[in-house]
Each structure stands twice: as structure tokens, then as C-alpha cells.
Copies of this chain bind each other. A is one copy, B any other.
């Protein structure tokens, strides 16, 4: 069916991953993860994030976030994040209901939190001692929900603050690939090496069929996590079929290929759109998401042939997301409809 710019979960499964799924479908293997595919995938994570990391596979991104947060918190803690975070806005309150924690959504710049903002919120909440919650986790998204990237230095600044103030740093990396590819960094350099304690590691938005991972950098946070994993409805019985997808993804750097393609198409789209006098691109386009205000009539017209989401109907702000399988032709086709020239690469 027709490709869109609606979401990177509108696209399907990239061919290398589909091939891996078929190859994993061979006879009987142990359930629940004690199988050759899971073992190989875990080994690949260890190569990426270091030999001491602990990796658990889960079904989706909300689960990766929620289980990460549960591993770090008790119900009287609080979780600090940006006002745009997926965990605050788009997970139907799962972070709150599964952890019991207060989630404090702070003002941000393009979805990025500054040290000052975090510090102020933590200090204000802590002022009341046990009459208020105890801030315990800072959760950031790389790239942000608005498509903007934290540099490793920016992550490190936040990580240092956390570690000096009895907080953990969590990163929602559902699109970490797009950030790493854009920065030309390894996955670890864009996340854990800058001080992240627990990483929600994506996949589905970058060409997998289903499945994400949680990467613990501190073994004490994974204490008894086997139990939490199953109790939280995330222990796949035929786990090989999550794990097997990560084998080409990591071993053959399919993540990089897929993310680079999505990023490239987004860049082309943004270059094209910026020529239009009535289109205003809202945030720097650094990965595979473009937010822009459009003339209302244009939104309606374009949406008929090329679906995407209106992010804020009052502002006439739309979101365009590119996927691993979007092509130059998609961008060209879209820009034509917009009435601007396709950029010369």
C-alpha cells in the first residue's frame, strides 16, 4: 500500500529483518529466551554497550519505558521529564499507573531539558521533604519527540547532575538510531557512554516487526528484573522472534542503513518545504521528524494523497515522519503537491 509520512510505525518490516524472522523459524528452541537467537542478540548488545550491560527484550516502546522506570523507582518517587515526552503525553498515563510515581513534565527547548530547569524542579520538590515526592529519575528522549538531538555533552551534563543528586538518568531511545546516524556516533556514544543508566532501546520505528529492548548499565538496577519482566506482561514465550530481528539490525548495522535513509529523506523534505513562503518549520530538522505550520487548505489537500498527522490543530502544525522505506520519489511527489522544487542534493 501507499507510503506515507504519518509515522514510522506505518511502515512495515525491512527485508533483512523479515529474512531473519524466517531463518529463526527452525524447529524447537527453548521458550522465554534461553535460545541461540537470544544469546547471539545479547552478545551483540554487549559488543555495542559493553560487557556489563544487561539486556531484556520487551514488546513495545511503552513497555520499554515503563519497565525501565519501574526498575528505578518506588511509588513515592517522582520522575522528571519534558512537557513533550512520550511518557507524559502519549502513553495513556502508563508511566504513572505502573510506577505510581508523580511525573513532572517541565518546560523544554525543542523537547530538550536544560540543567537549570531540571535543577529548579528537583529542588522545589525536595524542599518539602517527605511531604512531597522524592525525585528519583530524569527521563530524556534521544532524539526528542520534536526530532531534536541532545549532544553527548548535553547528556553528560544532565547525567552528572543526576548522579550527584541521587537520581538516575533514563533515556527513551525509541529513535536513538536516527540520532546516532545523524551525529555519526555509535549507539553507545549517543546514549550510555554519556552517562545514561537505563536505556529504552527502540527497533519497531526503524524497520522491526515488533520488539524493543531495555539496556541496564548498572547491574543493581536489574536486580530481580527477571521477575519484573514476566510480571509486567513482557516476557515473550517465543522470544527468539524478537531477538532474531536484532541480529542483522546490530551485526549488519541495518539500524544505521534504515535510520540514515529516513534522516536523508526528512532533510530533503525540509529543504524543499523551507522554500514555501507560508510554511514555517517549527524545530531544527535533525532526524526523521519535521514539524511545520502549514496553510490550513494545504493540510487538507495534501492529506488526501499523502497521509500525515496534524499535531496541533489550533496552530495548523503538522508532523511529517519518514521511515526506512521512504524514497526520494516520495519526497519529490510530496514537494510537488506542496508546490515547491525538489532540492538539488
Establish whether residues A133 and B92, one from each chain, have CB atoms under 8 Å apart when the complex forms. Answer: yes
What 1/0 mask marks residues of chain A from 221 to 240 whose CB sits below 8 Å from any chain B CB? 00010111111111111101
- Candidates B12, B238, B307; contact of A9 at CB < 8 Å: B238
Residues in chain B near residue A3, CB distance under 8 A? 27-28
Q: Measured between alpha carbons, how far is A53 from B232 in the docked complex, in Å?
A: 27
Which of B22, B130, B226 lies in contact with A230, CB distance below 8 A?
B130
Residue A62 interfacial (CB < 8 Å): yes
Residue A275 CB within 8 A of the other chain: no
Q: How far is the CA of A198 from the CA of B62 in the complex (A)?
A: 25
Residues B1 and A134 in contact, CB atoms below 8 Å apart: no
A197-235 residues with Cβ-Cβ distance < 8 A to B are: 204-205, 209-210, 224, 226-235
The reply on A266 being an interface residue by CB < 8 A is no
Q: Does A345 count as interface, using CB distance less than 8 angstroms?
A: no
Binds B, one of A100-108, A149-157, A178-186, A332-340: A100-108
The answer to whether A6 touches B18, judged by C-beta atoms less than 8 angstroms apart, is no
Cα distance A100–B231 in the bound complex, in angstroms: 10
- Smallest beta-carbon distance A87→chain B, Å: 10
Q: Could you tell me if A97 and B238 are in contact, using CB atoms closer than 8 angstroms?
A: no
Select one of B10, B59, B228 contacting A29, CB under 8 A: B10
The answer, yes or no, to whether A313 is at the interface (CB within 8 Å) is yes
Instruction: Check if A132 sits within 8 Å of B31, measured CB to CB.
Output: no
Which residue of the partner chain B has the closest CB to A232? Answer: B233
Partner of A28, one of B10, B22, B27, B209: B10
Question: Could you say which residues of chain B place their CB within 8 Å of the CB of A1?
Answer: 26-29, 36
A204 to B30, CA, bound (A): 14
- Name the B residues within 8 Å of A103 (CB-CB): 96, 102
List 29 A-B pairs, Cβ < 8 Å: A1-B27, A1-B36, A10-B29, A12-B25, A12-B26, A13-B241, A18-B22, A27-B325, A59-B210, A59-B233, A61-B237, A89-B128, A90-B128, A91-B131, A91-B230, A91-B231, A92-B130, A92-B230, A93-B100, A96-B103, A97-B101, A98-B233, A100-B100, A130-B227, A131-B230, A133-B227, A204-B237, A209-B238, A209-B241
